[in-house]
A and B are shown apart, each in its own frame.
Chain A
Amino acid sequence: MNIVSIDPRVNRSQIDENTQEGIANPLEHFQTYEVFEQKKRGAHHIHVGSVHAPSAEMAVIFAKEQYSRRGQCVNLWVVKTADVFATEYEDSDIFDTISDKTYREPEAYKVIDRINAFKERQKAN
C-alpha cells in the first residue's frame, strides 16, 4: 500500500514499503542555480544561496522571494550550479602562506608600526 500524505508530492511519488532509494531521472528534479545578490549599484554581488528551478528566468523569480524579500536589493544574478568550476578541498594547501614570505605583504613594512601608533593615538583621543 502506498503511503498517503496531505502533501500531494508524496502521493504522486507512489511510495510503498518496498520502495528503494533510486537515482533521480534528469527531468524528475530541477537543477539548482546559485544566487548572487547586489545590495546597491556598484557593490559586489554576494552569494546568498541556491534555488531549484527549471530555467534561469524562473530561478530569478524564485530567488527574489527566497533571498531578497526583505532588505535592500537592486540586482540578482543566478548561475547554474553545474557551471561553477571549483577547486578541490584536497588542494587547499595552495592557499597556505609561508611565514618567511612576509616581506611580500604590506604588514611586513616598517611603516605598519607608525600606522598602528597613529591608530592607538586616535583611539586614545
Chain B
Amino acid sequence: MEFTDKHVQGLKDLLYKMADDLLIIGHRNSEWTGLGPVLEEDIAFSSMAQDKVGQSLALYEILHQLGESDPDTVAFTRNAPQFHCSQLVELPIGEYDFSLVRHFFFDHADAIRFDMLATTVVEPLQMVAKKFRGEIKYHTMHADIWMKQLGESEEAKMRIQSTINEVFPYALGMFEPSEFEAELQEAGIFDGEFALREKWLNKVVPLLESYGYSVPNAETIIPEFGGRKGQHTEHLQPLLDEMTEVFAIDPGADW
C-alpha cells in the first residue's frame, strides 16, 4: 500500500525511539569498560555496548534515507527533549546488578522488537532486523545466564530481586504507545507496542521465575512513561553533554 504522511511519521517515530534507545544504552553500558567485575565480563559487556551503538547507526541510516539529517548530526546535535529513548536506558549505570537487570529487560524487548520487524513491509528495516539477529541473540543469552547464575546464591538473589522491583516500572516504560500505533499496524510496518509488551512479558516473567525470582504484576504497576515524547529524567542531558563533547569541538571535522 502507498504510505500516507501519517505512516511515514509513524515509521520515523518508531525508528527514532529504537535508535535512541540503542545509542543511549550503548553509551551507558560502555561506562563499565575497564571497571567490569571480572576481565572476561568487562570485555563481553563492552563489546555488546559497541554492538548497540552499531545497531543504532543502522537505524539512523534508514532515517537518513527517509530525509532526516545524517547519523552524526542526529546522534550528536540534539538535546534531551529531542530524544525518544525510554527513561530506562538513560538511568545511570548504578551498581553492576542494576546494569545487568536493565540489560536483561532491555535486550529481551529489543530481541522481540527486531524479531517482529523481520516481517515488516519496510524493506531496509527488515534487512536490519535480520542482520542483527545473531548479535542480539547473544546479548539475551548473556543476560539470561547472568540472571540464572546470580539466582543461585542467596545474597546475590536478594540483590537482584530488589533491583528487579526497582527497575520494572522503567522497563514497562519502554512500551509507551505512540500516537501512530494504528497507522503502523494498518500499513504492516509494526504490530505495535502493546503486542510487543505482551510478548515480552510472556518471555521475561517465566524466565525470571524459573531462576527463582518473582516479578511484580505488570497490571498494577504504573509505567515510567514520557521518554518517547521527550520527557526525560535529569540524567539524560549530562550523558548527552559528555557523549557530544568531542564532536562539539569541531562539528564539521572529517573523521
Query: Which of B35-43, B185-193, B199-207, B225-233 is the contact stretch?
Result: B35-43
CB 8 Å contact bits of A42-68 with B (1 = contact, 0 = none): 000000000111110110011011100
B35 contacts A7, CB within 8 Å? yes
B37 contacts A9, CB within 8 Å? yes
- A101 interface hit (Cβ, 8 Å): no
CB 8 Å contact bits of B126-167 with A (1 = contact, 0 = none): 000000000000100110011011000000000000000000
Closest chain-B Cβ to A9's Cβ sits at a distance in Å of 7
A51 contacts B149, CB within 8 Å? no
B40 contacts A8, CB within 8 Å? no
Find chain A residues with CB under 8 A from B38 CB. Answer: 30, 52
**Residue of B at shortest CB range from A55?**
B149
- B47 interface hit (Cβ, 8 Å): yes
A8 contacts B149, CB within 8 Å? no
Find chain B residues with CB under 8 A from A110 CB. Answer: none
B145 contacts A57, CB within 8 Å? yes
**Residue of B at shortest CB range from A7?**
B35
CB 8 Å contact bits of B23-48 with A (1 = contact, 0 = none): 00000000000110111110110010
A65 contacts B47, CB within 8 Å? yes
Closest chain-A Cβ to B160's Cβ sits at a distance in Å of 15
Give the bracket for the number of chain A residues in contact with chain B.
10 to 19
Given contacts A54-B149, A57-B145, contact A8 B35 (CB under 8 A): yes
Bound CA span A52–B42, Å: 12
Given contacts A51-B40, A52-B39, A52-B40, contact A61 B47 (CB under 8 A): no
A61 contacts B35, CB within 8 Å? no
CB 8 Å contact bits of A1-14 with B (1 = contact, 0 = none): 00000111100000
- A121 interface hit (Cβ, 8 Å): no
Find chain A residues with CB under 8 A from B43 CB. Answer: 62, 65-66
Bound CA span A31–B212, Å: 25
Bound CA span A58–B141, Å: 10
Set A57, A66, A69: member contacting B40, Cβ < 8 A: A66
Apart from A62-B40, A65-B43, 11 more pairs, CB < 8 Å:
A7-B35, A8-B35, A51-B40, A53-B40, A55-B145, A57-B145, A57-B149, A58-B149, A61-B141, A62-B44, A64-B44
Q: List 14 A-B contacts (CB under 8 A).
A: A6-B35, A7-B35, A57-B145, A57-B149, A58-B145, A58-B146, A58-B149, A61-B142, A64-B44, A65-B40, A65-B43, A65-B47, A66-B43, A69-B47
User: B-contacting residues of A (Cβ < 8 Å)?
Assistant: 6-9, 30, 51-55, 57-58, 61-62, 64-66, 69
